[in-house]
Amino acid sequence: MFELKNKVAVITGGGSGIGKAIAEVFAAQGAQVCILELNQKAAKDTAQALSNQRLLAKGYACNVAQQAEVDTVIQSILKKFGTIDILVTSAGIAHIGSLESTTADDFDQVYQVNVKGVYNAMHSVIGPMTSQGRGVILNIASVASHVGIPDRFAYSMSKGAVVTMTLSVARDYVKRGIRCNSISPARVHTPFVDGFLKKNYPGREAEMFAQLSQTQPIGRMATPAEVAHLALYLCSDEAAFLTGCDYPIDGGFIHLNN
């Protein structure tokens, strides 16, 4: 079950965090993985680590906020592999701030990566997927698109847009063999979390990590691998009847915190 053999999967932000975990799980299930990553070294290192005797993972340096860059990389992938079966849009940035403290530049930066970046990736693959009559798109949203989280104004805006873009694409292309869903994680223990705690709470990292973990009713953060396993199911043939939905993976955060 959940085999991805002979499938080509493009993963934005696949060089770290959730995207990297998804790339690892997909490769383990037989997918040809193509990683789009702003950091060229991260793209190359992750691809090299995933390559084996059967599959040669490919890493591409790409700023998802730039449509021309995304188009160029997608065309290179199509030329090399002939198809793109799966797109996962995991590239994104965080921002802390209320409406009042969020500057116009902050807002634009979050929009360019988290919203425009998802649009650019979907826009580049939708034509080829439509032509081949099949395809799966999975967008990474957030629980911030469902509930109010303090000081996450721009980030919540961007992830709300991801969910509604997902629903729109699912509706428009359901008759053309393309499925489109999204995942909304709560807090996930990624290198970003460790860096955030080190920067903002020096000497109190363990204390603050415990506090953040307890905001999930289940009592801990998710692991990137747990999110990746949900992504695997939603992108597999076993999920062929699923489209147009957002799937929280949140340790009870949305419904059990009230």
The model's pTM is 0.96
Using one digit for the tens of pLDDT, what is the confidence trace for 226-253? 999 999 999 999 999 999 999 999 999 9
Question: Spelled out in words, what is the top-level CATH class assigned to the domain 8-187+223-256?
Answer: alpha beta
What are the structural domain ranges in the chain? Answer: 8-187+223-256
Q: What is the gyration radius of the CA atoms in the chain, in angstroms? A: 18
Using one digit for the tens of pLDDT, what is the confidence trace for 168-191? 999 999 999 999 999 999 999 998
Average per-residue pLDDT for the chain: 95
Chain-centroid distance of CA 140 in Å reads 4
What distance in Å separates the CA atoms of residue 122 and residue 167, rounded to the nearest whole number? 13
**DSSP letters spanning 149-217:** -TTBHHHHHHHHHHHHHHHHHHHHHGGGTEEEEEEEE--B--HHHHHHHHHHSTT-HHHHHHHHHHTST
Percent of the chain at pLDDT exceeding 70: 99
Token duo for residue 199: 């920067």
**Nearest CA to 187 among 232, 142, 139, 247?**
142
| 218 SS3 class | coil
Q: Name the active-site residue from 60, 111, 119, 155.
A: 155
What distance in Å separates the CA atoms of residue 205 and residue 193, rounded to the nearest whole number? 10
Active site residue 155: yes
